[in-house]
Amino acid sequence: MRVFLAGATGAIGRPLAERLLAEGHEVVGTTRDEARAAVLARRGVEPVVLDAFDAPAVHAAVATARPEVVIHQLTTLPQDPTPKSMAAAVSLNARLRRETVPTYVDAARAAGARRVIAQSISFVTKPDGRPVHDEEAPLWADEPSQAENVEGVIALEAAVREGTTDPTHPIEGVVMRYGFFYGPGTWYAPDGALATMIRKRRYPIVGSGEGRSSFIHIDDAVDATVRALDPALPSGTYNITDDEPVRAADWIPEAARVMGAKPPRHVPAWLARRVAGDVVVHYGTTLPGNANGRARAAIPGWAPRPWRQGFAEVLG
Ligand SMILES: NC(=O)c1ccc[n+]([C@@H]2O[C@H](COP(=O)([O-])OP(=O)(O)OC[C@H]3O[C@@H](n4cnc5c(N)ncnc54)[C@H](OP(=O)(O)O)[C@@H]3O)[C@@H](O)[C@H]2O)c1
């Protein structure tokens, strides 16, 4: 199958391109950088150098590639996610979702592609006391510290959905709401920024530690995405997370343990809020986990490894 991969150089784009090529697909992959394009070409990807905000360039590239499936894996996130660097990244990342996903959906439809698949995130639902949310839970757009990020997510998902219902040129549309990536090339790689903070005891348990994270090994995210090329998978939104949402009070000590580090410190929520901000306190104390039942039922053969096993493999 011919696949157009927007973002072939990112944390998921790299292993996804490799896996697609290994399965015999033809991959046209984008980057903004000539040197990275040369690396892609050496790996067997047909590289395209473009900035996704340049809509005419996107249209021309997709039309030239004539892909069956277009996959959008664009983000613009820091390698070192401090509260400051994340706050600085939010606006551009939201703009990337808001503006470039509609462009890619339009370009895919104009080029006669069958399906578009787009990267979203699962950890944006509104806390309501339930520990785990499925895809129907409302997103938390009415919380000021989350609004810009969540509005970007809402816009990207709406663009994919609207592509499926367009009366003239409908296209199949799949939104992959990935959980927190871990594994090679992510924040939770052994040399990744968050793993390093945990090792140095600079990633504390905040307050109650009741915030629940749903993790996904990057290879299991890739596996779900490759399986989503299958026309049998219905258009829709899928949580791509493991089976076991886990409390911060449980996963941070386990990550420290497998790395042979000292247990994490505890800090009260008021102090974390003052030092690191509302989002960090939310993740630590009130974040709902995510249920993956819809994806498990709809994607035959997809079996994400449990975070505890994956952490041991990656960080042990
Ligand atoms: N669900 C999650 O937990 C999640 C999701 C995403 C990212 N992250 C984390 O965020 C960190 C950084 O992510 P990353 O390594 O994937 O890097 P990134 O800087 O977010 O880039 C991702 C991809 O988007 C492309 N891109 C960004 N802006 C673009 C634009 N204006 N036009 C065209 N392409 C554009 C990049 O291409 P070029 O730079 O080559 O042009 C790259 O291929 C990683 O640690 C990752 O694990 C986590």
What predicted TM-score, i.e. pTM, was given to this entire model?
0.98
Q: Which atom of ligand 1 is nearest to the CA of 181?
A: 3
Looking at domain 2-182+215-242+290-304, does it have CATH number 3.40.50.720?
yes
pLDDT at 206: 98
pLDDT at 169: 84
User: For the chain, where are the E strands, in sequence order?
Assistant: 2-6, 26-31, 46-49, 69-72, 115-121, 132-133, 172-178, 180-182, 205-206, 212-213, 215-217, 236-240, 246-247, 266-267, 289-290
pLDDT at 88: 87
As for ligand 1, residues whose beta carbon falls within 6 Å of it are: 7-11, 13, 30-33, 36, 51-53, 74-77, 79, 96, 121, 178, 180-181, 186-187
| Mutational pocket test of ligand 1: of 75, 91, 93, 149, the residue with most ligand atoms within 8 Å of the beta carbon | 75
pLDDT at 120: 98
pLDDT at 166: 87
Q: Look up residue 282 and give its two tokens.
A: 């939310």
CA 185 – CA 130 distance, rounded (Å)? 32
Question: Counting beta carbons within 10 angstroms of the beta carbon of residue 204, is it exposed (0 to 12), middle (13 to 18) or buried (19 or more)?
Answer: buried
Nearest to 249 by CA among 208, 298, 286, 279: 208
**133 beta partners:** 290
**pLDDT of residue 253 exceeding 90:** yes
